[in-house]
Amino acid sequence: MREELSQKLHSLQERKRLMCSRSTKIREVELKRKIINDVLEIVPKSSSTAACLREIEFEINKQDITVRPWKKRKLMKSMDSTNKTTPLSSVVLNPSTSKDLSRIHAESLHKGTLEWRLNQAIDNGQIDLAEKISDSIGNRLFSTTSDKNIHLTLGKQGEYKEELKNRRPVWLTVDG
């Protein structure tokens, strides 16, 4: 009886140790995933760094499956979707040759800025919103440059506003 109890105690201690190590590994995997996702938001999607980070994320998902096998199906779906959108083996070494520079610039804009919102509106086909945002950007540019050049005459300010309107992208011009 005493030996059985000592074996049970030993097995419970072993299970507790395994559970503690599992929870530590889970926290470690979650922390790695959070760091990778934060960096992926900052790095341009088409860069070789992003491809390397996706490969690391793939390895982290494998580690997560070994620690938490019950999440295998969910993680496999997410890994399959990332493989379909961007294969890991096709790392782009020179992104400027495969993509135009304006697209790379659009992907590198910080989320939430006016320029980012403008690109989102363009991508979603919201021309009115894009025009308003473009005007807002133009007004902001005008106000920051006129603060530096307080001595502009009214005529020059009007010319500058016209110049800003002429700089508006072609897709925003309304044919009337």
Query: Could you say which of 85, 117, 150 is where a domain stops?
Result: 85
3 within 8 A of 10, measured Cβ to Cβ? no
Average pLDDT over every residue of 26-30: 84
- In this structure, the answer to whether residues 128 and 78 fall within a common structural domain is no
- In this structure, the answer to whether residues 78 and 126 fall within a common structural domain is no
Could you tell me the CA-to-CA distances from 63 to 16, 75, 126 in Å, in that order?
Answer: 21, 11, 42
Average pLDDT over every residue of 157-163: 62
- For the chain, the domain total comes to 2
Query: Is 80 within a domain?
Result: yes
- In this structure, the answer to whether residues 134 and 81 fall within a common structural domain is no
Please determine, for residue 151, whether its predicted confidence score (pLDDT) is greater than 60.
no
Query: Is 102 within a domain?
Result: no
- In this structure, the answer to whether residues 113 and 78 fall within a common structural domain is no
- State both tokens at 175: 């044919």
Return the top range by mean pLDDT from 51-65, 84-98, 107-121, 145-159: 51-65
Query: Whole-structure pTM over 0.75, yes or no?
Result: no
- In this structure, the answer to whether residues 10 and 62 fall within a common structural domain is yes
Average pLDDT over every residue of 49-71: 85
Range of the domain at 7: 2-85
Give the Cα-Cα-Cα angle 126, 132, 136 (nearest 5 degrees). 140
Q: pLDDT at position 48, please?
A: 87
- In this structure, the answer to whether residues 8 and 74 fall within a common structural domain is yes
Q: pLDDT at position 29, please?
A: 85
Query: Could you say which of 50, 85, 120 is where a domain stops?
Result: 85
Contacts of 45 (CB under 8 A, 6+ apart): 86, 107
Query: Is 119 within a domain?
Result: yes
DSSP string spanning the chain?
Answer: -HHHHHHHHHHHHHHHHHHHHHHHHHHHHHHHHHHHHHHHHHS-TTSHHHHHHHHHHHHHHHHHHHH-GGGHHHHHHHHHHHHHHS-TT---S-HHHHS-HHHHHHHHSPTTSHHHHHHHHHHHT-HHHHHHHHHHHHHHHHHHHHHH-TT--HHHHHHHHHHHHHTS-GGGPPP-
